Structures are given as structure tokens and as C-alpha cells.
Structure 1
Amino acid sequence: MEAEFKNFKEIGIYLNMDKPDSPALAEKCIGYLIQHGFKIALLEGQIKYPHECVIYYPKNLFYRKPDCILVLGGDGTLLFVARKVCFYSIPIFGINLGKLGFLTEGEAGNYEEALKNLTSGDYYIEERMMLSCSIKKENESACFYMALNDVLVKSRGFRMMDIEARANGSTIDKFRADGLIIATPTGSTGYSLAAGGPVVSPQARVMILNPICPHRLHDRSYILPEDEVIKLEFGDREKDIMVTFDGQTTVSISPQDAVKVKKATYCTRLIRLNQMSSYDRLRIKLSSEY
């Protein structure tokens, strides 16, 4: 789904500080944007750029104040920022400093061209479905987590698990596998693809339920409609279970804890610079060598 054009005035810049090239690229981007009349928002503690047009925000404000956020890093960096800004409908635009960059739009080597399109309004905003996962531990309130790519359940000890997946009161299947991935269409090209799952158009509104190395050879992925609520149940003897969101945030659970995954009410808003089809984009990225 494409959203309407938005007139940006203040642009945030988030850096992956583990990328050695990101501070230098950030300074180039800041200089370009200031020259073209934009205010710049930076996260406190990242970099300093003394200028009257630069504003420094603490974490509780940075992800909600700018009109959009320029993300300098790879897909992992963009996934992190997406989970922060989705609550405030802030669009994000990634310039790739990683490898494949499925989600990023520009490349560090052509940042000026990317910023030219961004500042001239030559872009559109693409909305991507996200997942919401609730974890309810005994005698505790439920905690909620967001994911743009996937929710992964596996044993911390990398042992085979018994997992039953249910949807709206009915059993989907009982898996004996190394783990289970619940992915969005965006996440279908991530871990789910590596585990043998299908590639799904990012415009689809479905969830992919994909066992990892299942014991039964006939086990395959399930494609579920967006309005299903997936409940996971575990064998009583399971231990060291962990739930991971986008491969970045991990929560340890016990077999008795209630885990539910569904389509989130929020979405990720990606800034796109051209009308390349999602199929062209996937074909080019999947055939890339790195």
C-alpha cells in the first residue's frame, strides 16, 4: 500500500555506529540537507555537528519528532529503527552500508542522488505490515513486542522442540522441529527464506508460519490470512525457550507462558525513490553476490 506524499522540513539521521564509514557519510548528508534548507535531528550521543539547523534529541523524542528519519546502515539497522518509529508513523529512508540491503533504498556511493530525490519530493511512501507478539507469564501482565521481519521461537540449546500452533481455536499443526518462524511478507526474504519458506510479495497481507528443520519431511510452510491470531503451545518438557524479534530482541520463556502473534495495528513506512516493482527489486537483490 502506498501512502501520500509528505512535505518534510526536519529530517532525522540515525547512524549504525558499528559501521566505520557511517560518521563520515552522516556529515556529508547533513551538509547536503542543510544546504537545501532542511533542519536536522540527531540522536544524543551519536555524532556532533555544530550548526544552528541541527537539533539534538534524547531517545524518548528522537523517534517521534522528525518528519522522517534517514537510516545509515544495513537492513538490521533499519529493522531496529522501524520498531521504534512505527508508533508515531514516521517514514524511514535507508542508505545501505551493509550487504544486500533488501529494505534500504539508496547506496552510500550515490547518496547525493538519493538525497536529491528525497529533497525534491520524488518519492512515495510504502507501508509494510508488522507483527505484534504478546507474552504472558504467570502472575504477570502481558508484554508486547513488535517485529517487521519475523518472530522466531527456538531452544537456546539448539535442541529439537515440540510446538503446537493454533489459530482462532483450531490446531494448525503440531511441529517437531528446531524452531518456528512467523514472518511477514517483508520477512519472507530473511530467515524464513533460508529455512525453505516462500518468497511473498511485500504488498500481500499474510503471515508465513515456517518450521525450521522439521522432523517430518512432509512439513511445509503455512500461509495464513492477516486476521488470524496465532497461539503457540509447547511440550511440558521443553526448556530454555527463547522468542526473538527481527533477530535482535530476545525474551526467555517457559513452556507454561502464553505466546500469541498477530498482525500489528502499526506499520513500517518506507520511503521509496522509484517505481521499480517489488518483483524487480526482489529479483535483483536475490541474484546479487556479496
Structure 2
Amino acid sequence: MHAAWDGDDSPVVGVVDAETAAIDAIEIDTALESVVADADGTITSGTLETVLAAEPSVLVTGGEATLSAVARAGVDTPVVPVGPLTGIESVDRRRLPAALEAVLDGRAVRRECPVLGVTLESTAGDERDVPAISERALFDVTLITDEPARISEYSLRDRETDIATFRADGVVAATPAGSHGYASAVDAPHLSPSVDAVAVAPIGPFVTQTRQWVLPTDALTFAVEREESDASLVVDGRSVGAVTVDSQVSVSLADSLTMLAVPDV
């Protein structure tokens, strides 16, 4: 969905500190301060928790990891993503003051990016008391063997219908944004932002000629049918748990993250 963003009177601009690397940090310089002051606004910066406590009108994030953290937090505050981001319409760091001026003037356009809900849970019934793990993904969800070149057997289901069973090093499901990143390296289809679907592809398949899929985001299930090595669940680049033959991973649409784009800057 694309629609204009009207902005707020006396806006609060929240600049979220990068979580992983200084290279992704946003410098609050005099040019940025001047733009916000001209809009009768204020700037707050710090960790995501600190920034959200100030009830910002708009968030500014640098880098993929910080943007992913915002998606995990489930915020409904619109975001201006900064820096080179594959699959995301972002702002060049040098053009941030001009872009933020356009945002605060109400010249930005909303882009709704899907966020996936991911659940890892045991299928062993009452035999194991293993709590489910719930995560959110803005880019991709990956099941991957922990040892390189140790192939396991994976299954894929869509709305209780068997889609495929294949032997591979892993499998990835990517949102339209994520389909242009790691998933593209394993030949997953590139998806338009306007498509309500995920791109799914095996990683290092045992059979060279394998299928890739474009599937709806309402009820996907992944499982390890036979394991020759431990497998991990990786969500937006973060390892979140172990996947065994006694567990399954469910993926469905959770909500969306609103991004603000300024096409003329």
C-alpha cells in the first residue's frame, strides 16, 4: 500500500542507535538539528527502548540490523531507513537532512513492508516440555545445517498441503525485501514489494535441478524430516534456536512495518 504521510505538528524524531556496528550509526549534526528545529520538532536518540519511550512521530534507522530490530519490536511508528539496504527503498546517508525535511513537510510516501511471524515449536507431544520460540522477520527465515555440506532432509507445507520434500543444506523463505538479499544468492525468485507472498528456495540442494516457490504468507510449515547434522533456525541473520526432527517452524504474516520514502530526494 502506498499513501502520503502527513507528518505531525511539533514532531519528535527518534534516531535509533545501531545495534551491531558503528558504521551504521546516524550522526546528529547541525544540518539535521536545523531541519528538525525548523519544523518546531525535537530529536531524541539512543537505544530503541529509549527512543520509543519518547513516543516519536518518526524513527530514523541506520543499517539492516537496526531496521530488523524495529520490526521485531512491533512498533507502528513510521521509519526512515538510512544507508544501503538491499530490497528496501532507503535514504543515502549524505542526503538525510534533505530527506528528513521532506518527511516533516509531509512529502514522504508510505511503503508497507510485510513482517513475518515465526514460531519454532516441538512436535513431540507431552514427551518434552520445550517452550515455543516466537520471532518476527522483516527479511528472511532460514533453516540451515550447522555443519557445512552435511545434507539433511527438509519438508515444506502450505496450509496443510504438502508442497515438497528435499535434501539440502537448508531452506530459506524471504519477504519481498529479503528476496533481493541472501535469498537471491540461492536463486530464490525476486518479489515485487506489491506481492503478498514469500520466496522459498533450498540451500545447497542435493539435486542440482530443484524448484523454487512463491507462496502465500498465511500458513507455511517447515520441518526437518531426517537429519545428518544439527540444524539452526536463523531469523534476519540471528540464530534463534535448534530445529530437530521433533520440531517444526511455522511462518505466517504478522503485520507490516511502515517505511517512509522520498522519491524526489
Q: TM (normalized to structure 2)?
A: 0.86
Report the Cα offset of residue 184 of structure 1.
1.0
- Which of structures 1 and 2 has the larger relative contact order (alpha carbons within 8 angstroms, sep 6+)? 2
Assess if the C-alpha contact under 8 Å between 1:93 and 1:104 holds in 2. no
SS state at 1:76 partner? helix
Q: Distance in 1 between matches of 2:165 and 2:53?
A: 40
SS state at 1:88 partner? coil
The reply on whether 1:268 has 2:253 as its aligned counterpart is no
Report the Cα offset of residue 261 of structure 1.
1.0
Q: Which one-letter code corresponds to 2:70 in the other structure?
A: V
Counterparts in 2 of 1:231 and 1:64: CA distance versus 1, 3 Å: farther
Report the Cα offset of residue 60 of structure 1.
6.8
Aligned to 2:125: none
Aligned to 1:136: 121
Report the Cα offset of residue 233 of structure 1.
2.0
Report the Cα offset of residue 37 of structure 1.
1.4
Report the Cα offset of residue 100 of structure 1.
5.3
Q: Percent identity?
A: 23
Counterparts in 2 of 1:61 and 1:15: CA distance versus 1, 3 Å: closer
SS state at 1:65 partner? coil
Aligned to 2:41: 38
Q: Distance in 1 between matches of 2:71 and 2:129?
A: 31
Please list the CA deviations of residues 255-276 of structure 1 after superposition, one character each: whole Å capped at 9, or x if unmatched.
Answer: 2112111122x11111011279
Aligned to 1:160: 151
Report the Cα offset of residue 64 of structure 1.
8.0
Counterparts in 2 of 1:172 and 1:63: CA distance versus 1, 3 Å: farther
Q: Distance in 2 between matches of 1:102 and 1:258?
A: 28
Aligned to 1:12: 14
Q: Distance in 2 between matches of 1:12 and 1:190?
A: 27
Aligned to 1:26: 28
Instruction: Extract unaligned runs of 5+ from structure 2.
Output: 123-127
Aligned to 2:161: 170
Aligned to 2:77: 90
Work out which of the residue numbers 102, 105, 112 in structure 2 matches 1:127: 112
State the aligned residue count. Answer: 255
Instruction: Extract unaligned runs of 5+ from structure 1.
Output: 45-57, 277-290
Report the Cα offset of residue 157 of structure 1.
1.3
Work out which of the residue numbers 244, 247, 252 in structure 2 matches 1:254: 244
Work out which of the residue numbers 169, 173, 186 in structure 2 matches 1:182: 173
Assess if the C-alpha contact under 8 Å between 2:15 and 2:43 holds in 1. yes
Assess if the C-alpha contact under 8 Å between 2:71 and 2:136 holds in 1. no
